[in-house]
């Protein structure tokens, strides 16, 4: 009896945490997102850019060209221009100042979220919870199907025995 | 053989969970390399179960039970998910230079494909493990064969 109670509590905990993780991670939306890709693509095209995300690689190349062009213009700014004077006034560590990685192709877009040697398993534990819930649901569904099959088989045998 | 299969399956499960978030465990470098290695592990898993695959493929419509058919179809989808996951991972790889096998198309598409296929594959993985739970308990010596 005690074993059964522990089992029920454990299964309930797994299912509750799994459901919570499922909602928290936006599991359903992220799973089926690929099936609504065409719609997302069309929406992306509405902002006036030709092709939206369809021409993502072309957009990225164009973006890089624009970026390098802007950097070249920045380098060749006349010293007496306002922008040119301001460039020297930024302090290290401040936005736009020396040491700021923005605009230099670093940070998230260039793989800056590599994280180094950090371990943060908080998000992984939510995935584990969802995974455990899937396993648990399958185990008990399997048991239910087996039980129903056995019952059906017993019902079939019984009339045979009567005759 | 069964022990090897068990440890292989266990390592694939653990690594798969660690790979679900690229930022959680040693960053993107680990994510990409371990993703490729998990692909090799998956192929090894298939090789180790090749006799079963061959047997079921030969008698899918004649000899198999409904459960075996379900397992076979599930494995088929798992394989498809794994291939899509690795292919899309290669397409959006940043730390490994795989430009020589880079498939075409937009990175945005491959990013969505990578997320969706990994989420769906993890769910299928859970169902697969659930259907083989008895085997797992037998390996852990909790249940007798």
ipTM: 0.90
How near does any CA of chain B get to the CA of A91, in Å? 30
Cα–Cα distance, A30 to B115 (Å, whole number): 7
Nearest to B130 by CA among A14, A19, A124: A14
Mapping DSSP to helix (H, G, I), strand (E, B) and coil, where does residue B79 land? helix
Rg for chain B (alpha carbons), in Å? 17
Smallest CA-to-CA distance from A52 within A64, A61, A43 is with A43
Whether A102 shows a pLDDT value over 50: the answer reads no
Give me the architecture of the B2-140 domain, per CATH: Up-down Bundle (1.20)
The average pLDDT across B1-22 equals 89
A56 with B108: Cβ contact below 8 A: yes
Q: Does B126 touch chain A (CB under 8 A)?
A: yes
Of the residues A138, A149, A150, the best mutation for testing chain B's interface (the one with the most B CB atoms within 10 Å of its CB) is A138
Question: Would you call A53 and B123 a contact, using CB atoms and an 8 Å cutoff?
Answer: no
Angle of helix B107-131 relative to helix A56-75, nearest 10 degrees, comes to: 130
Do residues B74 and B128 lie in contact, with contact meaning Cβ atoms separated by under 8 Å?
yes
* Residues from chain B contacting residue A134 (CB–CB below 8 Å): 122-123, 125-127, 130
pTM of this structure? 0.72
**pLDDT in the model for residue A22:** 95
User: Would an 8 Å CB–CB cutoff place B18 in contact with chain A?
Assistant: yes
Q: How confident is the model at residue B107 (pLDDT cuts 50, 70, 90)?
A: confident
Closest CA in chain A for residue B18: A124
φ/ψ (deg, to 5) at B101: -120, 20
Provide the mean pLDDT of chain B. 89
pLDDT in tens, B116-130: 999 999 999 999 999
Query: What pLDDT digit, counting tens, does each position of B52-66 carry?
Result: 999 999 888 887 888
Mean pLDDT value of segment A91-112: 46
pLDDT at B63: 79
CA distances from B41 to A46, B38, B70, B126 (A): 43, 5, 23, 17
Residue with the bigger pLDDT between A16 and B108: it is A16
On whether the CB atoms of residues B131 and B78 are closer than 8 A, the answer is no
pLDDT: which is higher, A25 or B103: A25
pLDDT for A161: 63
């Amino acid at each position: 009896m005690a074993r059964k109670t522990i089992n029920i509590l454990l299964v309930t905990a797994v299912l509750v945490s799994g459901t919570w993780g499922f909602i928290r991670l936006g599991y359903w939306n992220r799973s089926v997102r690929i099936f609504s890709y065409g719609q997302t693509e069309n929406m992306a095209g509405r902002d006036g850019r030709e092709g939206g995300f369809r021409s993502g690689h072309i957009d990225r190349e164009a973006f890089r060209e624009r970026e390098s062009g802007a950097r070249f213009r920045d380098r060749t700014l006349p010293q007496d221009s306002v922008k040119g004077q301001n460039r020297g006034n930024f302090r290290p560590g401040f936005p736009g100042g020396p040491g700021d990685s923005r605009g230099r192709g670093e940070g998230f877009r260039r793989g800056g979220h590599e994280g180094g040697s950090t371990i943060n398993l908080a998000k992984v534990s939510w995935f584990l919870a969802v995974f455990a819930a899937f396993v648990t649901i399958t185990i008990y569904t399997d048991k239910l199907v087996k039980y129903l099959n056995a019952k059906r088989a017993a019902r079939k045998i019984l009339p045979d025995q009567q005759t | 053989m069964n022990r090897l299969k068990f440890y292989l399956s266990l390592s694939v499960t653990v690594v798969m969970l660690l790979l679900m978030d690229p930022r959680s465990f040693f960053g993107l470098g680990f994510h990409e390399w371990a993703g490729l290695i998990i692909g090799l592990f998956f192929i090894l898993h298939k090789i180790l179960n090749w006799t079963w695959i061959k047997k079921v493929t030969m008698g899918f419509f004649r000899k198999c039970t409904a459960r075996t058919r379900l397992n076979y179809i599930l494995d088929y989808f798992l394989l498809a998910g794994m291939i899509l996951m690795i292919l899309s991972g290669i397409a959006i790889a940043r730390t490994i230079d795989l430009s020589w096998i880079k498939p075409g198309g937009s990175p945005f598409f491959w990013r969505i494909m990578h997320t969706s296929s990994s989420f769906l594959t993890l769910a299928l993985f859970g169902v697969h493990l659930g259907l083989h739970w008895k085997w797992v308990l037998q390996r852990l010596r909790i249940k007798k064969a």
